[in-house]
Amino acid sequence: MKYVVRIEFLAIAILLFSLAEFISVAMYTPVGLVKGYMAEKQTADECIRSLENRNEALIKETERLRARVRELDDSQKDVAQREQDLVRQQQTMELGVDDATKGMHVILLI
């Protein structure tokens, strides 16, 4: 009888050990999946933060470049206006010289 109890006890111990090992392996897989998910999520979060920072930098750079384009456009308009003024002044001077030349011819003819 002692041997039968020992054999049963040994069988139960082996069964419990096998069950514990099975549960350990079964739990290891979800724990590993959760750890993997958490690591992947952390990497994705870091990537998102990096992209958001890059996006913000690009927005600031775009705003700076737009302001610079407006400055250059205003400057170009100013230069074009000055050029037109100079052309008008030149035309006026040419007309004035022509009138003065005509007047000199009139004086010389008299």
All structural domains of the chain with their residue ranges: 1-78
Confidence at 82, pLDDT banded by 50, 70, 90:
very high
Q: At residue 23, what is the residue type?
A: I
Threshold 0.75, pTM exceeds: no
pLDDT(19) > 70: yes
The mean pLDDT value for 9-37 works out to 76
pLDDT(5) > 80: no
Distance CA 100, CA 97 (A): 5
Is the C-alpha dihedral spanning 45, 50, 53, 55 positive or negative?
A: negative
Distance CA 26, CA 33 (A): 11
pLDDT(22) > 90: no
The model's pLDDT over 37-71, given as tens digits with 9 standing for 90+, comes to: 898 999 999 999 999 999 999 999 999 999 999 99
Distance CA 25, CA 35 (A): 15
pLDDT(3) > 60: no
pLDDT(109) > 70: no
